[in-house]
Amino acid sequence: MNKEQPSFFQTRVIQFLGGRNTLFLLLVILLIGLIILIFDKVSFVFYPIQIFIGNVVFPVIMATILYYLLRPVLGLLEKAKIPKIWGIVLLFVGIIGLFTLLIFLVLPFLKDQFSTLIEEFPTYFQQLLVSIDTFLRNSIFQEYYVSMNLTPQEYLKDLPDGFAATIQDAAGGLLSGVGTFISTLTGFVLAVVTVPFILFYLLKDGKKLPSYIIRLLPPTMRDDAQLIMKDADKQISAYIQGQLLVSFCIGFMVFIGFLIIGMDYALLLGVLAMVTSVVPYLGPIIAITPAAIIAIVTSPFMLVKLAIVWTIVQLVEGKFISPQIMGKSLHIHPITIIFVLLTAGSLFGVPGVILGIPGYALLKVVVTHWYRLIRARYDRYQPDPELKYANTK
């Protein structure tokens, strides 16, 4: 008696891929591709959606960041027997008070330092070029440098005029694009105004949101979706809260270190280091550049002191602060971080650089769980026990 041959959908490979569901999935993918092709020809249909997303994404991201920062504080207030609504009100009052102090006490001082630095930076730059020129004319590269016939004095003479022309061009561009500027400013103000409302409802009902989303899914998917959401929440929370604390520590250490060595604009440079430290690897380079220029112009010894302070800050941050605060929660290799920053920056600009790492962490969570499900499906349809993933390390 001939053994019945298995049908196409009963073969091991097709069963592993989902059986008849594979054909259905391929048809769905083909249909989605046709829909995208059709709507690409009528792209104006997506314009309202694009406007909606553009107006919603920024306030939602800002409110989400604030939510993860304030959620632990709200939890402490609830443990102190303070009702959630009153705890949220206390948090909002505290945020308003903090911003008021920053605006009236710290911001004017930073504004004065920034204005002074902008006015004096061309002078610092001129002195830097003169110092480099003097060094090269008295170094082993003297003959080669003189043969190039470079005269920095001519460039320095035209430097103020160049700055003036640049400012005039920028002003002209602003005047010509005043309509676009006003529209962008209006959208930004409206986005900022909506952030407190979104934040309020996130703090009030944020814990209910995952369970509500899970109830919308089929019962067979709920356990996996709940696990993914739990891991994603853990990743976002660890990154945002940890990065804020690390950035504050870096800014404070830079400020104290620059005060000790007598560096000009210590507070401004400390704030710059704190803000740029949210971007791994690239942030410290951006922060140290103006400090290095000021130190080189001030004196060679100041450059040495700057190098010592910066080395101490980086060692303390890398060996003590980040391991204790951030730990190994993200598990992202440094090379991967660099590639993510370059790609996200090229695609989305500054927002991509800032949000690239947490975005990659969320994508990694989804892909990791998806791979786990693929392994489980493979084990289910693999008849040889020795070839199952469950038996491999």
List pLDDT tens digits, range 237-255. Answer: 888 888 888 888 888 999 9
Global confidence as pTM? 0.67
Structure confidence by residue, pLDDT tens digits, 281-321:
777 888 888 888 888 777 778 888 888 998 898 888 877 77
Q: Does residue 210 sit within a domain? A: no
* Structural domain contains residue 89: no
**In this model, does residue 162 exceed pLDDT 50?**
no
Average pLDDT, the chain: 77
Nearest-angstrom CA–CA distance, 256 and 278: 20
Contact criterion met (CB below 8 Å) for 389 and 379? yes
Q: How many CB atoms lie within 10 A of CB 88?
A: 20
Domain assignment of residue 154, yes or no? no
Asked whether the predicted pLDDT for residue 174 surpasses 50, the reply is no
What is d(CA 97, CA 18) in angstroms, rounded to the nearest whole number?
Answer: 58
In the predicted structure, residue 164 carries a pLDDT above the cut 50: no
Q: Is 27 part of any domain? A: yes
Domain annotation covers residue 194: no
Other Cβ atoms within 10 Å of 232 Cβ, number: 19
Query: What's the domain range around 30?
Result: 9-44
For 163-187, b/e burial (b = at least 16 CB within 10 A) is: eeeeeeeeeeeeeeeeeeeeeeeee
pLDDT (tens digit per residue) in 64-89: 888 888 888 888 888 888 888 888 89
Q: Is residue 113 part of a domain?
A: no
pLDDT bin (cut points 50, 70, 90) of residue 175 is: very low
The number of domains in the chain is: 1
Residue 28 lies in a domain: yes
Look at residue 26 and tell me if it is in a domain. Answer: yes
